[in-house]
Chain A
Amino acid sequence: MFDIESYHKADSVDEAISLLLQNPNAIPLAGGTDVLVRLRQGNSDYGHIVDIHDVADLKEIIREPDGTIVVGSGATFTDLITSHIITEHIPVLAQGAGWVGGPQVRNQATVGGNICNGAPSADSAAPLLVLNAVVELKGPQGIRRIPLYEFYQGPGRVDREQAEIMTALRIAPDDFQCWASGYHKYAMREAMDIATIGCAVACLPQGEQVAKLRLAFTVAGPTPLRCWKTEEKASGAALDPSLLELVGTSVLDDLRPRDSWRAPKDLRQQIIKTLAQRVLIQALKQAGVSLT
């Protein structure tokens, strides 16, 4: 039996917010694959539960009339992988989702939980960062939207107020239409593992040049990170092998990998450089551009 001290089930987002307001120690419970594990470990920070598992409004994946893709925070990874909207328009997110845990975990775990727990290794984070995803939160003061890269504040810390619910991740059409993108997770096992390094790349080609490049890494710093300096340097660069050189020499300046029992820092650095180049090559190859 889980060590739950108080439990309330919400049927709507507004009900969840008012339940969270009533108890400053309460936290939302969605898929359960993190919160229930922490509870089982006896972590009393998770003892007061507002259950949003069955809030239907949070599970939708839709395309708005202007083309914006809205991914409900309660969508499971299986929902992401099987959504035609995602596989057709933002396949990089389906790629990331496919690397999460194993089939059962993907059937249960939600994308909102993956982001809100603030894990530096979240498999959905790197794809969502290169898609410039915007986090939508609803709280007692109403709705607010902030870029995902600002939402992350530190390891395990995100910019969600206690009584706020992350309702959705929003991806604007300018952030995916005509972009080439890809994701790769380097881990010791091909399933049920935490990334040693995760890398997502998105590139907007314009003729023979790079109009825009975006790179994001997981487990390469205290939070999932974008590579701002490299991205700026690559803007306007030629779409030829020199781009790989540029990315390979610059990318480590943007990141802060560290030693852990999973991998030493120098191995992580090597993987980061290799993945940055490899994922870029693969992403552009799918768009018909060869860098090699």
Chain B
Amino acid sequence: MNRKISCTINNKSFNVTVDVRKSLLEILRENGYIGVKEGCGVGECGACTVLVDDVPVDSCLYLAIWVDGRSIRTIEGESRDGSLSAVQQAYLDNGAVQCGFCTPGLIMASTAFVEKHKGHRVSREEIRRGHAGNLCRCTGYEDIIRAVEQCLEDAQERKAVKSDSCKV
């Protein structure tokens, strides 16, 4: 039951023969992307969240063959040239990481959320709803929400500075 698929993982092309019975989670972990975690395995905890064409999905409930022709982003691709992504840095700044097991999935969920809402005012309630598919047993979520707020505020500020500089 093998099929050839080709996709990109963190902007690198990836051609592989997959067993159709395997989940995206399994294929990613087997190929070294072990930042993708298996928590519940049934789509409730979000620890396995990755982005498929920039849309967050639970990779435990996603057949690997469905990514044929698509682009996948995992936590491994978020830092570039030794610097953390804005979301990663905001998690660090706000102490939003404790045991760390849920963190890769949460950061991918936050990344998609921040990219989608960049430049828009977002309420705490919307941030909470946007992260409702990710469970965290340690942090109590407050620090995570603050990290997302920081990212959105930073984006707002950068926008403001940019528009000011346009006037000059």
Contact = CB atoms under 8 A, between A and B. Distances in A.
A104 B49 contact: yes
A101 interface: yes
A102 B132 contact: yes
A236 interface: no
B23 A102 contact: no
A274 interface: no
Contact of B21 (A7, A104, A107, A191): A7
Nearest to B1: A7
B102 to A, nearest CB: 13
A1 B66 contact: no
Interface residues of A, number: 25
A104 B61 CA distance: 10
B155 interface: no
Contacts of B42: 37, 40
Interface string B40-79: 0111101001000001111001110110000000000000
B20 interface: yes
A287 interface: no
Contacts of A9: 20, 65
Contacts of B19: 1
A102 B1 contact: no
Contacts of A7: 1, 20-21
A141 B132 CA distance: 43
B133 interface: yes
A51 B20 CA distance: 11
A2 B27 CA distance: 13
Nearest to A36: B61
Interface residues on B, range: 20 to 34
A105 B62 CA distance: 11
B100 interface: no
Interface in A83-124: 101-105, 107-108
Nearest to B19: A1
B160 to A, nearest CB: 28
B36 interface: no
Interface in B123-150: 129-134
A190 B42 CA distance: 19
A53 interface: yes
Residue of A3, A101, A108 ringed by the most chain B CB atoms within 10 A: A108
Nearest to B42: A37
Nearest to A76: B55
Given A32-B61, A33-B61, A37-B42, A103 B1 contact: no
Contact of A105 (B26, B63, B133): B133
Given A9-B65, A53-B66, A104 B43 contact: yes
B118 interface: no
Contacts of A53: 63, 66
Contact of B43 (A51, A78, A101): A101
Contact of A191 (B20, B22, B109, B132): B132
Return the 8 tightest CB-CB contacts between A and B, nearest first.
A102-B133, A191-B132, A102-B132, A104-B133, A4-B21, A104-B58, A7-B20, A1-B21
Interface of A: 1-4, 7, 9, 32-33, 36-37, 40, 51, 53-54, 78, 101-105, 107-108, 190-192
Given A4-B21, A53-B63, A101-B133, 16 more contacts: A1-B22, A2-B21, A2-B63, A7-B21, A9-B20, A32-B63, A33-B58, A78-B55, A103-B131, A104-B43, A104-B49, A104-B57, A104-B58, A107-B57, A108-B57, A191-B129
13 contacts: A1-B23, A2-B21, A2-B22, A2-B63, A32-B62, A36-B63, A53-B63, A53-B66, A101-B133, A102-B133, A103-B132, A103-B133, A108-B62
